[in-house]
Amino acid sequence: MDTHLTRLWMRAVATAMDLHKDRLTQLDSAIGDADHGVNMQRGFTAVVAALDDYEAENVGDVLVKTGTTLISSVGGAAGPLYGTFFRTAGKQLTAPTADGGELASALGAGLRGLQKLGAAVPGDKTMVDALMPALAAFDSEAPAAAAAKAADAAEAGMRGTIPMQARKGRASYLGARSVGHQDPGATSAALIFRALVEVLQP
Ligand code: ADP
Ligand code: MG
């Protein structure tokens, strides 16, 4: 993984958020306030613009810039949560390239930062239910193979949110009525890992 590929990853995430905006909003209209698609699209459009004007020296710079931009451009809960995830991960990566193990460990630190902020644990029906299995599957082999396993695990985790009752965020206000719907944040988290697979494909 190098600086250029990290930029391409963020561009691929922006494209995925454009493509899946309506789906994310639809999911958020069932158990939230119908803005997750718009939030993610706005956030990653701002990220692409910010990265275009930015001279990154290493992989971490790109991720820190991504996180800072998400925090300042997204109003909903997901902005600060994803922002913290990318910013915390980026702070660990200070070299021009990162191997699979370094990327896995940095993203793991990002998830711990996100959980510190949002206090969600697995089973609460949030993005953590996709991120946690994704990072557990992201082992230290070559990034392309690790990312493929992570994306599959994120998608399984995403589907696993359907029967859960939400205990964090807006969806938790619905109590038992949140059961039977896929969590929007877990869905965007799976898109983020699928975008990484696309970029790392040999
Ligand atoms: P908002 O809920 O403010 O409208 P979004 O709609 O953009 O923000 O994001 C909603 C998603 O954020 C949820 O689907 C869930 O995955 C995630 N989320 C909400 N609260 C938390 C939390 N405390 N920890 C982790 N993720 C959370
Ligand atoms: Mg919302």
In whole angstroms, give the CA distance from residue 180 to residue 164.
Answer: 7
CA of 78 to the centre of ligand 1 (A): 5
> Model's pTM, two decimal places?
0.96
pLDDT of 140 above 80 = no
């190098």: which residue's tokens?
Answer: 2
Instruction: Indicate the CATH number for domain 3-200.
Output: 1.25.40.340
Ligand nearest to the CA of 39: 1
pLDDT of 8 above 90 = yes
- Mind listing the pLDDT tens digit for each residue in 163-187? 999 999 999 999 999 999 999 999 9
Q: Which of 96-105, 135-144, 191-200 has the highest mean pLDDT?
A: 191-200
Single-letter amino acid code for the residue at 32: G
In whole angstroms, give the CA distance from residue 158 to residue 187.
Answer: 6
Ligand nearest to the CA of 126: 1
Q: Where are the domains of the chain?
A: 3-200
- Mind listing the pLDDT tens digit for each residue in 21-73? 999 999 999 999 999 999 999 999 999 999 998 999 899 999 999 999 999 99
CB 51 within 8 A of CB 90: no
Pocket test for ligand 1, best of 36, 159, 182 (most atoms within 8 A of CB): 36
The pLDDT score that the predictor gives to residue 142 is 83
In whole angstroms, give the CA distance from residue 190 to residue 66.
Answer: 17
The pLDDT score that the predictor gives to residue 202 is 75
